Structure 1
């Protein structure tokens, strides 16, 4: 199995990623990111080399109630250029969950992804997300109902953490759910190397991903998640664990270039230099225009703020730029920042650890 050094070029014989009958391509893809991976972020990721992306997680109750209002219709918006794209779903009750999955399929998503990984306290308190890893019977009921109601040609996948905690019972529950999911017909599983109890504290245990890969033995596709903040991280996870692909979460916010960088390393080319400041400015403008198209000019500046903060990590004066964009309230203010800070000069790779305290 090839090993990809963290600081030197590497070549590989990476196999293209497939999820069931769906051929994805290069096996570094964009993860679902609550509050972030909307249509503009997904489109930019695709334009910069991501072969697949997943929408921000949606609640089954919300999906069943969503109407055609401009304020909410963006949740189900899909651009022609971003196929294949996954729709991720979260909920508590199996029957309602399946109905939400049916709505996602009808909206045009190419893969339906079941979220059993979210560690946020308010989600766990409502018996959603990662909570299901503590109740295998309910989890498997959700999986079976979802697979039954989603059209047969659409793959169903599951996002999991390595357990609710590090007890023996949690480990047994994880593999019971995994084996039951395979039996029910899921096409793939994404595994995050932390437990639900860990949330985002401490390192992701990549050795567990290798164990899952051996356990699955090619029956379904396995994607790895956790601590992927550079192109080298992505290829190293594949090399060390044998997963079929990786999903980049926090490392892709404000950093769509990570996908092309990973492709270059995988092809045996040198790591591309970080995008110059004018190149960054062009992408930020493009991102803002996409947000305007989806949400309207009134909402766009405030929605762009959280992304502008993430983009600032690639600026050599990132703290100064961050303090400017954190107060962003208008398009004019954004253009002023770009003119003042992004007109000329070289960029940088986001400093190591800058995203590690932020939730994915």
Structure 2
């Protein structure tokens, strides 16, 4: 998609937290752990969000080695947000305290997840259908969070396309800022849509016009650097959160920075450049999860990274068979030993495949 940089791409701040370049990495359940966030930061993301965590899970967390990665942060990640999801307002408050103690700079409330099992437990996007409960969640979370830590909310544009859903959305939106929320992220699909059909960017423009100077981040259908700038240009939102488009393609952030500076779109990373970052990602995961545990978790990342390889269809299955560092080296030897040009990933690979928080 051809794009024209916004006339004034202002740096982003969320309350007292300075972010800078307004293209950031979204929270992604099962993906946006510390290694993914660090790689994104090193390649140009100014701000990242941790994968969504259940309030009940956080309150029961005992610091065991197998679960310690959920609250693991590094110095180079800041600013970084922790994202909360749950059903009961009082548990949000206690869980927010746990995230603050862990060192997160921003607390984000998830009212957007459209996954069926989440909705069935009255979590995520379910709250968009009950404004009173949603606003109580926000109030309790804001009250329990220190004043210097911003609280933000992630929303979809409603449960569905009904007039009632629209009214509920704007009731929660206005009430959120009245209760001290510093910013909202709005995804342009409804909860009912999940990840099917296009994201409604016109609705994002309407939300930004409605809120004026208050901070709005946009989400939905951001699969390239050009998409990120085009959303800001079309809608006027203050920033964008890249979700599925960042999995296996952290270069999207440096590419967006180049376009925003008026430079041509950089070439996709070559196979040697890809190999270097994948190896770096694997080492970070190995350090966090241990030698025996990291490989299985890295399979899904390898599969996503393979979309940048010119022989994607042939490379992808080998990533799915990885059991350890020897298999990593075997994939490198077979598919990344010659420094060939890479390719920009096909957005069709991601469309229809959702990760909660996206």
Scaled to the shorter chain, the TM-score interval is over 0.9
Deviation at 1:357? 2.4
> Does residue 335 of structure 1 match 2:329?
yes
Q: CA deviation at 1:11?
A: 7.1
> What secondary structure is seen at the aligned counterpart in 1 of 2:13?
strand
Runs of 4+ in 1 over 4 A off after TM superposition: 8-12
* 1:296 paired to 2:312: no
1:284 corresponds to 2:284 = no
Aligned to 1:159: 154
> Aligned with 2:222: secondary structure?
coil
- Residue 126 of structure 1: how far off its partner (Å): 0.4
Which residue does the alignment assign to 1:107? 102
Return the match for 1:7 from 2, 7, 29.
2
Alignment of 1:199 with 2:194, yes or no, is yes
Partner Cα distance (1:81, 1:70) in 2 = 22
Map of 2:166 onto structure 1:
171
Give the secondary-structure state (helix, strand or coil) at the position aligned to 2:316.
helix
Normalised TM-score (structure 1): 0.97
Counterpart position of 1:319: 313
Counterpart residue number, 2:245 = 251
CA 1:271–1:9 in structure 2 vs 1: closer, same or farther (change >3 Å)?
farther
**What secondary structure, in the 3-state scheme, does the structure 2 residue paired with 1:23 have?**
strand
Provide the secondary structure at the position in 2 that maps to 1:44: helix
Q: Is the 8 A contact 2:85 2:124 kept in 1?
A: yes
Match of 2:227 among 218, 233, 237: 233
Whole-angstrom distance in 1 between the partners of 2:4 and 2:320: 36
What CA deviation, in whole Å up to 9, does each residue of 1:210-255 have, x standing for no partner? 000011111x210000000000000000000000000000000010
- 2:51 corresponds in structure 1 to 56
Return 5+ residue gaps in structure 2 as ranges.
Answer: none
**2:217 corresponds to which residue?**
223
Q: Given that residues 57 and 89 in structure 1 are in contact (C-alpha distance below 8 angstroms), is that contact kept between their aligned partners in structure 2?
A: yes
> 1:335: Cα distance to partner?
0.8
Residue 142 of structure 2 corresponds to residue 147 of structure 1: yes
Structure 2 distance, partners of 1:11, 1:161, is 24
Query: In 1, Cα distance between the equivalents of 2:136 and 2:73?
Result: 29
Task: Write out aligned runs for 1:113-124 (5 A).
Answer: 113-124=108-119
- Which residue, 132, 138, 141 being the options, matches 1:137? 132
Answer whether contact 1:9 1:269 (CA < 8 A) is retained.
no
Q: Does structure 2 conserve the Cα–Cα contact (< 8 Å) formed by 1:9 and 1:270? A: no
Q: How far apart in 1 are the matches of 2:351 and 2:325?
A: 29
Q: Alpha-carbon deviation of 1:256?
A: 0.5
Is residue 291–residue 324 contact of structure 2 (8 Å, CA) maintained in 1? Answer: no
Count how many residue pairs are aligned between Structure 1 and Structure 2: 354
For the residue of structure 1 that corresponds to 2:8, the secondary structure is coil
Distance 1:12 1:300 in 2: 44
User: Which runs of 5 or more structure 1 residues have no equivalent in the other structure?
Assistant: 1-5
CA contact (8 A) 2:6 2:233 kept: no
**Cα displacement (A) at 1:71:** 0.2
Alignment partner, residue 356 of structure 1: 351
**What are the within-5 Å matches in structure 2 for residues 72-83 of structure 1?**
72-83=67-78
CA distance in 1, matches of 2:84, 2:282: 27
CA RMSD of aligned residues (A): 1.0
* 1:119-139: CA deviation from partner (whole Å, max 9, x where unpaired): 000000000000000000000
**Residue aligned with 2:84, SS:** strand
SS at match of 2:349: coil
Post-superposition shift, 1:33?
A: 0.2
